[in-house]
């Protein structure tokens, strides 16, 4: 039985560990916190998982909360701006695309402890310890394969930044999120939940995500601010209460259509807020320990995108599924550095589309993209296709990045609509 060590207990690390466990591998997981510590701790992220990522969880029988988490049947986009002669910020664009399969969000404080306990109950070896590079160097000879699925901390230094795939060298957004109870329904679609993305050109974005948290159904209010801009105001916040106050102040000024349903919200718990920033990067997937032993980076450890496009947990799930297939197909052959690079490139064939799209969305919005978003407001097939691109970002290659292709696509859809009408 081949022995595998996974350092990191997030979406990718635990999904991969449970998948390998089901295939008969001897798996050890190292987590820096015990399940009960994670449950009682602070929120760790936003997350919204689309059809493909949810399918990978179902395949492994890990969709424990699917009947409890609110299903998001659509994805909506609003674009804020000023209308000449009218006061305040208004919606210049507003539409909802229907998803081919619903999306769901489960607070990591719910999912990760549950998966950790399941892994241990099924006979997996769980070690609660903060691992250093020297620790890993000591442990590595005892395993056939070592995977680093921790996207933060000292271990990330094992993986050198790949400048050819990493255009940014500084954070592109200031991030601030709050989990809340009491958010009212969107009047445009009160009968169903949808993920909402509000674009404030030049300032940033606001995501509103229905979720399941430790206290039940909730919503995530997630601001992404251009550094130094009017949404970048959370560095000096003192406590969760002030964080929520600033969140709502920004809603009232920059997204009043969302503020109207947020006047009665309250934080879900004392750990329901988070703020920070990080630099998007793609890194060399093979790290070398001081002894020379190779280790393979997983998901955020080697490909970290800004959460602007909601791809973090989706990419983690896809990476885990890809690595699982590569490991099983390797059989009894050694997991050497050459194999590691091949396994990563197999994943990168999917991940590159996420990185290209996310990096494009971080830049000032191109004119043809503004036109595309505007066209979606009057052409439902365009709205639906854009929304489903969050599940399969490779589809954006066919029409999103090139002005001529975007114009041709919209013209084709409009002609078809005119024929039907």
Q: Pairing mode, if any, of strands 204-213 and 216-225?
A: antiparallel
Distance CA 318, CA 154 (A): 24
Question: Is the same domain home to 248 and 139?
Answer: no
* Residue 420: pLDDT over 90: no
pLDDT at 84: 76
Give the confidence band of 86 by pLDDT, cuts at 50, 70, 90.
low
Give the confidence band of 1 by pLDDT, cuts at 50, 70, 90.
confident
pLDDT at 188: 87
Q: What's the predicted TM-score (pTM) here?
A: 0.96
pLDDT at 421: 67
pLDDT at 352: 98
Question: Is the same domain home to 18 and 146?
Answer: yes
CB 60 within 8 A of CB 95: no
Question: Is the same domain home to 19 and 90?
Answer: no
Question: Is the same domain home to 259 and 352?
Answer: no
Give the CATH number for residue 272: 3.30.9.40
- In the beta sheet, which residues pair with residue 400? none
Last residue of a domain, one of 256, 276, 296: 276
Say how many domains are in the chain. Answer: 3
> What DSSP line would sit under 360-393, residue for residue?
HHHSPPPHHHHHHHHHHTT-HHHHHHHHHTTT-G
Give 99-118 pLDDT, tens digit per residue: 999 999 999 999 999 999 99
DSSP character at residue 237: -
Question: Is the same domain home to 163 and 43?
Answer: yes
Across the range 308-328, mean pLDDT stands at 98
pLDDT at 153: 86
The more confidently predicted of residues 230 and 421 is 230
Distance CA 207, CA 308 (A): 8
Last residue of a domain, one of 361, 377, 406: 361
Grouping H, G, I as helix, E, B as strand and the rest as coil, residue 29 is strand
Question: Is the same domain home to 294 and 354?
Answer: yes
> What DSSP line would sit under 278-328, residue for residue?
---EEB-SEEE-TTS-EEEE-GGGTEE--GGGS-HHHHHHHHHHHHHHHHH
CB 32 within 8 A of CB 129: yes
The residue whose two tokens read 């990978």 is 56
Question: Is the same domain home to 8 and 115?
Answer: yes
Grouping H, G, I as helix, E, B as strand and the rest as coil, residue 253 is helix
Give 282-302 pLDDT, tens digit per residue: 999 999 999 999 999 999 999
Last residue of a domain, one of 342, 361, 380: 361
Question: Is the same domain home to 116 and 48?
Answer: yes
Residue 183 is part of which domain span?
72-103+173-276
Across the range 178-204, mean pLDDT stands at 95
Rg over alpha carbons for the chain, rounded to the nearest Å, is 22
- In the beta sheet, which residues pair with residue 221? 178, 208
- Nearest of 143, 168, 114 to residue 305 by alpha carbon: 168
Distance CA 253, CA 247 (A): 10
DSSP character at residue 46: -
CB 89 within 8 A of CB 198: no
Distance CA 147, CA 8 (A): 9
Crossing angle of helices 312-330 and 11-22, in 10° steps, is 30
CB 195 within 8 A of CB 72: yes
Question: Is the same domain home to 34 and 122?
Answer: yes
Grouping H, G, I as helix, E, B as strand and the rest as coil, residue 49 is strand
Give 70-80 pLDDT, tens digit per residue: 999 999 999 99
Measured in whole angstroms, the distance separating CA 340 from the mean position of its chain's CA atoms is: 24
CB 400 within 8 A of CB 406: yes
How would you label 261-286 residue by residue, b for 16+ Cβ within 10 Å and e otherwise? bbeebebbbebbbbbebbebbbbbbb
Give 23-82 pLDDT, tens digit per residue: 999 999 999 999 999 999 999 999 999 999 999 999 999 999 999 999 999 999 999 998
Question: Is the same domain home to 157 and 181?
Answer: no
Across the range 367-371, mean pLDDT stands at 96
* Residue 149: pLDDT over 80: yes
Whether the CA torsion 154, 176, 76, 308 is positive or negative: it is negative
Give the CATH number for residue 336: 3.50.50.60
Ranking 90-94, 159-163, 185-189, 228-232 by mean pLDDT, the lowest is: 185-189
Cβ neighbours for 126, distance < 8 A, ≥ 6 positions apart: 28, 29, 31, 116, 119, 120
| Residue 416: how many other CB atoms lie within 10 Å | 12
Question: Is the same domain home to 192 and 246?
Answer: yes
* Residue 217: pLDDT over 90: yes
Question: Is the same domain home to 140 and 46?
Answer: yes
pLDDT at 88: 79
């Amino acid at each position: 039985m081949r022995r595998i060590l996974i350092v990191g207990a997030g979406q990718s690390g635990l999904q991969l560990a449970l998948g390998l466990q089901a295939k008969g591998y001897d798996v050890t997981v190292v987590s820096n916190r015990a399940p009960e510590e994670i449950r009682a701790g602070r929120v760790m992220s936003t997350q919204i998982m689309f059809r493909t990522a949810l399918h990978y969880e179902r395949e492994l029988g890990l969709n424990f909360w699917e009947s409890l988490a609110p299903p998001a049947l659509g994805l909506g986009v609003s674009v804020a701006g000023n209308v000449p002669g009218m006061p305040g910020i208004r919606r210049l664009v507003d539409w909802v695309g229907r998803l081919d399969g619903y999306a769901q969000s489960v607070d990591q404080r719910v999912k990760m402890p549950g998966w950790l306990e399941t892994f241990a109950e099924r006979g997996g070896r769980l070690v609660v310890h903060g691992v250093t590079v020297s620790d890993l160097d000591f442990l590595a000879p005892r395993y056939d394969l070592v995977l680093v699925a921790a996207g933060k901390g000292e271990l990330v230094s094992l993986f050198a930044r790949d400048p050819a795939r990493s255009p940014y060298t500084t954070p592109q957004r200031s991030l601030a999120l709050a989990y809340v109870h009491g958010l009212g329904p969107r009047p445009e679609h009160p009968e169903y939940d949808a993920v909402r993305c509000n674009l404030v050109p030049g300032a940033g974005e606001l995501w509103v995500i229905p979720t399941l948290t430790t206290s039940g159904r909730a919503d995530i209010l997630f601001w992404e601010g251009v550094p130094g801009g009017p949404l970048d105001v959370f560095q000096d916040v003192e406590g969760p209460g002030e964080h929520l106050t600033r969140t709502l102040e920004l809603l009232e000024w920059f997204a009043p259509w969302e503020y109207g349903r947020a006047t009665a919200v309250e934080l879900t718990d004392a750990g329901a807020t988070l703020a920070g920033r990080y630099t998007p990067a793609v890194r060399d997937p093979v790290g070398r320990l001081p002894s020379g032993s190779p280790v393979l980076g997983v998901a955020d450890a080697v490909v970290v995108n800004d959460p602007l496009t909601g791809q973090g947990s989706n990419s983690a799930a896809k990476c885990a599924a890809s690595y699982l297939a590569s490991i099983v197909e390797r059989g009894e052959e050694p997991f050497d550095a050459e194999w590691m690079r091949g396994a990563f490139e197999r994943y990168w064939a999917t991940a590159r589309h996420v990185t290209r799209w996310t990096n494009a969305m971080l830049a000032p919005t191109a004119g043809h993209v503004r036109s595309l978003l505007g066209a979606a407001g009057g052409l439902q097939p365009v709205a639906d296709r854009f929304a489903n691109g969050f599940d399969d970002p490779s589809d954006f290659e066919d029409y999103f990045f090139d002005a001529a292709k975007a114009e041709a696509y919209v013209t084709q859809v409009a002609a078809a609509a005119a024929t039907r009408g």
